[in-house]
């Protein structure tokens, strides 16, 4: 469907053209690099090493190790000893150079690029889009959630002549982030999943969150957006490009009805307008995942995918690791949603806990980080709300979640406090029993997966009632 002229390889001339850099050591301008890497431990033969500098590391310290396999490097100061048979290119800023190379590779390709942003659901939506489009096309996508100023350009440097479409998740933590990523990726189409209070420490207000996510509108010719998010739709009111909406509650171009949410799956009728529909049996649970599927289906429709291909793409998707994974551990049902957390995603996960509850419902929740001045209020509100739900036990991890625990306990619920995820895991082992349903969730910095790691040494929950609470 799409013609492409892009080549995944880079010549020295390409790099100079993209970055404005200067060759300081060379084994010949005809040399071709087969890829780009920032990791001296994982670099492959023939690749270009980009020596990035961070607050806690400097890639230049690993230059010689990287060049044992790599064919050359981008540096912002030449080493004392020139490496033999390797090409070194000097640039003023290696991160900017990486981004320039990614933009160069994207622009010499004529494949369409889809940018996916929003507060929640970005990774799952991106993966669903790739699954749908992948039924007919070769699709380039970010690995995992490599969605920032380093991860996104690294993903773009993997573009090859076989790729027909690219779908890229775009994250943001401060105003201007999406504009910067769009400057690198130049997306043709955008998806905005929803707007919520995430990363408020960097944004300051939810209005700034929305404004930043909608920076994608300055680049794309069409955007897919959630019709049930009134705050998002209000922000789109001044946009004059094409808007394709998806939703469940409000009128939308792409919508779902006849919804049946099961323990580990969801069934619904996918409707593309008033006259086209198909039954979907999705292998992941939750209403929020139906929203993600609707957004992906909207992109599929923009690309004129057959309804059966859209169905195949959605139904073949098995979910994203660390995001609402339902497991059997400790003799209980465990909902592992440990990748990250903000107030909106926390609320959705807790609703799933209540929905899936068979015996007791146990919430093991870690701090929601990066909420700035809103942090304490957000955690207090969470605890107040939880106290009104059929949650039997709450294990709070971290000083902020302690605010939620104090509000929860006022409602009469049983609760515990833990300083770390590992400590919470030990508490959980001591109290859980068969038929319990356990939710484990928190921000990435809390490392909530450690709650579950104790099971790896063979520990199981109490099966009797002597320690029941």
**Lookup: tokens for 453:** 């790691």
**Concatenated DSSP letters of 43-74:** --TTEEEE--B-SS-BGGGGHHHHTTT-SEEE
Query: With contact defined as beta carbons under 8 Å apart, do 170 and 192 qualify?
Result: no
Domain 10-94, CATH number (from 3.40.1390.10, 3.30.1330.10, 3.40.50.150, 2.40.110.10): 3.40.1390.10
Domain 325-457 sits in CATH 3.90.190.20: yes
Residue 393 is predicted with a pLDDT of 98
Closest to 113 measured CA to CA, from 122, 103, 128, 121: 103
d(CA 364, CA 370): 19
Q: Across the 469 residues of the chain, what is the mean pLDDT of every consecutive 10-residue run? A: 53 95 78 92 94 91 91 88 86 98 95 97 97 98 90 96 97 97 98 93 94 98 98 95 97 98 94 97 95 99 98 96 83 90 95 94 97 95 98 98 97 96 95 94 96 62 40
State the DSSP code for 83.
P
Domain spans of the chain? 10-94, 111-315, 325-457
* C-alpha neighbours within 13 Å on the C-beta side of residue 295: 36
Query: For residue 58, is it left (φ>0), alpha (ψ between -120 and 50) or beta?
Result: beta
Exposure class string for 350-378: b at 16+ Cβ within 10 A, else e: bebbebbbeebbbbbbbbbbbbeebbeeb
Which numeric CATH code is attached to 111-315?
Answer: 3.40.1190.10
Residue with tokens 């380039």: 140
Query: With contact defined as beta carbons under 8 Å apart, do 35 and 46 qualify?
Result: yes
Exposure class string for 64-89: b at 16+ Cβ within 10 A, else e: eebbeebbbbbbbeebeeebeebbbb
Exposure class string for 433-455: b at 16+ Cβ within 10 A, else e: beebbbbbbbbbebbbbbbbebb
Residue 71 is predicted with a pLDDT of 87
Edge-first strand order for the sheet with 414-418 is: 325-329, 332-337, 437-441, 361-366, 393-397, 414-418
**Could you tell me the sign of the dihedral formed by the alpha carbons of 151, 153, 154, 159, in that order?**
positive
**Lookup: tokens for 351:** 């609703």
Query: With contact defined as beta carbons under 8 Å apart, do 34 and 8 qualify?
Result: yes
What DSSP element (H or E) covers 290?
Answer: helix 287-302
d(CA 289, CA 227): 15
The pTM assigned to this predicted structure is: 0.89
Residue with tokens 């064919």: 71
Residue 454 is predicted with a pLDDT of 67
């Amino acid at each position: 469907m799409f013609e492409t002229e892009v080549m995944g390889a880079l010549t020295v001339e390409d790099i100079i053209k993209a970055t404005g850099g200067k060759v300081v050591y060379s084994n010949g301008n005809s040399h071709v690099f087969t890829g780009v890497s920032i990791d001296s431990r994982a670099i492959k033969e023939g690749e270009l090493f980009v020596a990035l500098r961070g607050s806690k590391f400097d890639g230049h310290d690993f230059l010689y190790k990287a060049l044992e396999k790599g064919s050359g490097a981008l540096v912002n100061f030449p080493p004392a000893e020139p490496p033999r048979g390797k090409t070194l290119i000097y640039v003023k800023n290696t991160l900017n150079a990486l981004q320039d190379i990614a933009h160069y590779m994207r622009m010499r390709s004529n494949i369409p690029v889809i940018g996916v942003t929003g507060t929640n659901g970005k990774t799952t939506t991106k993966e669903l889009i790739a699954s749908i489009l992948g039924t007919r096309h070769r699709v380039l996508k970010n690995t995992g959630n490599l969605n920032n100023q380093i991860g996104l350009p690294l993903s773009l440097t993997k573009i090859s002549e076989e790729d027909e479409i690219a779908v890229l998740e775009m994250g943001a933590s401060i105003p201007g982030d999406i504009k910067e990523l769009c400057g690198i990726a130049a997306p043709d189409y955008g998806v905005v999943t929803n707007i919520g209070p995430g990363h408020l420490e960097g944004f300051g207000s939810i209005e700034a969150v929305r404004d930043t996510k909608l920076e994608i509108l300055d680049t794309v010719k069409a955007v897919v957006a959630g019709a049930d998010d009134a705050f998002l739709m209000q922000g789109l009111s001044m946009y004059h490009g094409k808007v394709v909406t998806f939703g469940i509650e409000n009128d939308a171009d792409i919508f779902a009805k006849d919804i049946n949410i099961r323990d580990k799956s969801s069934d619904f009728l996918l409707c593309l307008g008033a006259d086209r529909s198909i039954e979907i049996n999705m292998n992941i649970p939750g209403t929020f995942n139906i929203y993600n599927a609707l957004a992906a289906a909207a992109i599929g429709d923009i690309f004129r995918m057959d309804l059966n291909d859209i169905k195949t793409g959605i139904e073949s998707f098995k979910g994203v690791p660390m995001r609402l994974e339902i497991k059997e551990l400790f003799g209980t049902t465990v909902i592992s949603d440990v990748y990250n957390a903000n107030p909106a995603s926390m609320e959705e996960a807790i609703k799933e806990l209540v929905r899936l509850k068979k015996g007791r419902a146990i919430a093991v929740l870690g701090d929601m980080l990066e909420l700035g001045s809103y942090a304490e209020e957000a955690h207090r509100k969470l605890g107040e709300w939880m106290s009104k739900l059929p949650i039997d036990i709450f294990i709070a991890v971290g000083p902020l979640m302690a605010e939620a625990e104090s509000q929860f306990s006022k409602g009469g619920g049983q609760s515990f406090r833990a300083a770390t995820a590992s400590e919470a895991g030990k508490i959980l082992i001591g109290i859980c029993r068969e038929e319990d349903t356990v939710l484990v969730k928190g921000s990435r910095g809390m490392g909530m997966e450690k709650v579950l790691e104790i099971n790896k040494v063979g520990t199981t929950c109490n099966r009797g009632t002597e320690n029941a609470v």
